[in-house]
Amino acid sequence: MRFSDQLVNDGILDQDQAQRIQDADRLKPMSVHWELKTILYLGILLFISGIGILVYMNIDTIGHTAIIAAISLASAACFYYGFKHRKPYTHSEVTYDSPLFDYVVLLGCLLFGVLIGYLQFQYTVFGMHYGIATLFPAILYLSMAYMFDHKGILSLGITGFAAWAGISATPMHLLENNDFSSLGVIWTAIGVGALLAGFSKYTELKDVKRHFGFTYNNFASNILFVALLAGLFSDGYMKFVYFILISGLVFYYIRYAIAEKSFLFLLLSIIYGYIALTYVFFSLLIDIGNEISFMLGLFYIIASCAAIVLFFIYYKRILGIKK
């Protein structure tokens, strides 16, 4: 039974009033904002993928010069549109009237990335300096992100910067052996994550593009947690240090989640912290290796399951959300 019918049965509304409420609810406009944005983003991704497939399948027919010229012109056209319609820079968030603006400038940046990758692969314009081929687009993306106030381009810039840092740390091992357990890669990731988190905090204090904070911290938290967990799992001599760092990071991002009313960062902190705590706890139990440790392990599993249930029940109270 519909709620309006229940109100009629209770004598609160008459049938005519209930019918008008039902008609208003049935005929009211429905927002398709996010559906359209998703379709546009998928369209851009499919377009870029189509360009890559077209180039791959017709490279001998089209020719390198024609491909480079076509990509360059398309990217330049997107940037021309962006610069022509962009609003003056301000430290606060900038919104654009045209829904196409964000997607056109994003397409221009993606095409520029394709162009740089194509030039490096075909002509090795940067030689064996792979870091430069990654850093150059990253700097452009970060600049464009602030110029056009675009979170998507900011994500591209952060990804490029992180890739440059990883390649610069262990260029040959990373590319040839995929040595992701290397302490050099781990500490490089920790440095990148700390830099992103610190820069986000600095811009927050200076009130510069505060709405970029979510993007910075989304990358920073995942990079830091994964790197610290990798160190905890692989470096036997510094497990305690890594665990302390993870605990401090959990505390920091729980406070951030409460301040921003963000369920995502609260959930990330709980998940990564739980993984670290469980690993350390069972490592200690394995070292003890008696019947008491086995019972403690069973009790930990039961208690942690109960804690997870309580977390999902009371997470709004933790975040200070009333509804």
Amino acid symbol at 151: K
pLDDT at 170 over 60: no
User: Measuring CA to CA, how many Å separate 139 from each of 26, 124, 145, 147, 162?
Assistant: 49, 20, 10, 12, 12
- Quickly state the pLDDT bin for 313 (edges 50, 70, 90): confident
Query: What is the mean predicted confidence (pLDDT) over 100-128?
Result: 84
What SS3 class is residue 99?
coil
Query: What is the mean predicted confidence (pLDDT) over 284-309?
Result: 86
Q: Which residue from 210, 185, 196, 125 is spatially nearest to 157, judged by alpha carbons?
A: 196
57 burial class (0-12, 13-18, 19+ CB within 10 angstroms)?
exposed
Q: What is the pLDDT of residue 318?
A: 85
pLDDT at 177 over 50: no
What SS3 class is residue 149?
coil
Residue-wise pLDDT tens digits, 219-257:
999 999 999 998 998 867 788 899 999 999 999 999 999
User: Measuring CA to CA, how many Å separate 199 from each of 3, 20, 145, 165, 204?
Assistant: 50, 54, 15, 16, 8
- Quickly state the pLDDT bin for 292 (edges 50, 70, 90): confident
Distance of CA 258 to the CA centre of its chain: 19
Q: What is the pLDDT of residue 140?
A: 92
Distance of CA 10 to the CA centre of its chain: 50
What is the DSSP secondary structure assignment for residue 176, as one 8-state letter? I
Question: What mean pLDDT, rounded, does the chain reach?
Answer: 83
By mean pLDDT, which of 54-63, 160-169, 238-247, 307-316 is the weakest?
A: 54-63
Q: Are 189 and 142 in contact (CB under 8 A)?
A: no
Q: What is the pLDDT of residue 254?
A: 95
- Quickly state the pLDDT bin for 295 (edges 50, 70, 90): confident
Query: What is the mean predicted confidence (pLDDT) over 280-305?
Result: 86
How far apart are the C-alpha atoms of 155 and 141, rounded to whole Å?
A: 8
Structure tokens at 155: 């994500």
Residue-wise pLDDT tens digits, 57-85:
766 666 777 788 888 998 999 999 999 98
Q: What is the pLDDT of residue 286?
A: 85
209 burial class (0-12, 13-18, 19+ CB within 10 angstroms)?
buried
Q: Are 242 and 235 in contact (CB under 8 A)?
A: yes
Q: What is the pLDDT of residue 168?
A: 52
User: Measuring CA to CA, how many Å separate 243 from each of 101, 279, 300?
Assistant: 45, 10, 18
